[in-house]
Amino acid sequence: MTPRDVQTPVRDGACTGVALLLALFVAALVVALAAGEAQAQTAPSGEVLAYEAESLQETKAATASLRAQGNCCGISWSNNAQLLLRSTEVGDTFTVGGRSFTVQSGGVYNFSAVLTRGPDYGTYQLAIDGREIGGPFDAYNPTVQKTEPLDFGKVRLQKGSHTLTLTITGKNPAATNYYAGLDVLYFEPEGRAS
């Protein structure tokens, strides 16, 4: 018996087999593409992490009134709210984060934040995991306004949970109080190029 003799009677079966293999190949391709998409979505590289300040949990009791404040005063915040500290004196502080502020991939991040300025806003210092980052920020402005993302510099974050602390350090002479308002925090993974 030659190979050709064998092929002829099983042609239908061979066709079915080829169709089955093709179907399996297509299915595998779809799965591979889907997996590729999932990886792209979760890849930390180049992905900016954003945390709404008003969604961060208090991990150390604030020394003044701390609450989420909805849009007001002509301002529309990210997620329609900001985290407002109604401080009345230097030294007021709060710490937020913990499980509500975690990163999945350790590394160096460029930290920037959208903050609120106003006539009754003071000057404050931010710290991440207890370490001061950037200089004191004077949040005084004659009218209430939302800033562009302000650059606070680089911070190394290990995989896991972290904290953000705000401490009132003073106020502009023109400011009528020591309030502080945070809208949203951004952490951009530092590029590996260069």
Q: Of 156, 183, 164, nearest to 59 (Cα)?
A: 164
Q: How far is the CB of 77 from Ca ion (least distance, A)?
A: 5
Which one among 62, 183, 185, 189 touches Ca ion, defined by CB under 5 A? 183
Applying the rule CB under 5 A, the residues between 43 and 62 that interact with Ca ion are: 52
Q: What does DSSP say about strands 150-157 and 107-117: parallel, antiparallel, or unpaired?
A: antiparallel
- Following DSSP, what letter does each residue of 22-80 receive, concatenated? HHHHHHHHHHHHHHHHHHHHH--TTPPEEEEGGGSEEEE--SSEEEEEESBTTB--GGG
Q: How far is the CB of 117 from Ca ion (least distance, A)?
A: 15
Which one among 69, 78, 88, 100 touches Ca ion, defined by CB under 5 A? 78
**By CB under 5 A, which span of 24-32, 63-71, 84-92, 179-187 interacts with Ca ion?**
179-187
Q: Which residue has the tokens 């208090």?
A: 58
- Is the CB of 115 or the CB of 175 nearer to Ca ion? 115
Residues in CB range of 88: below 8 A, 6 or more apart: 64, 177, 178
Q: How far is the CB of 107 from Ca ion (least distance, A)?
A: 25
- Is the CB of 139 or the CB of 184 nearer to Ca ion? 184
- Is the CB of 55 or the CB of 172 nearer to Ca ion? 55
Q: Of 127, 75, 111, nearest to 190 (Cα)?
A: 111
Q: Is 161 in the site for Ca ion (CB under 5 A)?
A: no
Q: Which residue has the tokens 């150390």?
A: 60
Q: Is 79 in the site for Ca ion (CB under 5 A)?
A: yes
Element (H, E) at 168: strand 160-170
Q: How far is the CB of 112 from Ca ion (least distance, A)?
A: 14
Q: Is 77 in the site for Ca ion (CB under 5 A)?
A: yes
Total residues contacting Ca ion (rule CB under 5 A)?
A: 6
Contact status, residue 116 vs residue 76, Cβ threshold 8 Å = no
Residues that bind Ca ion (CB under 5 A): 52, 77-79, 183-184
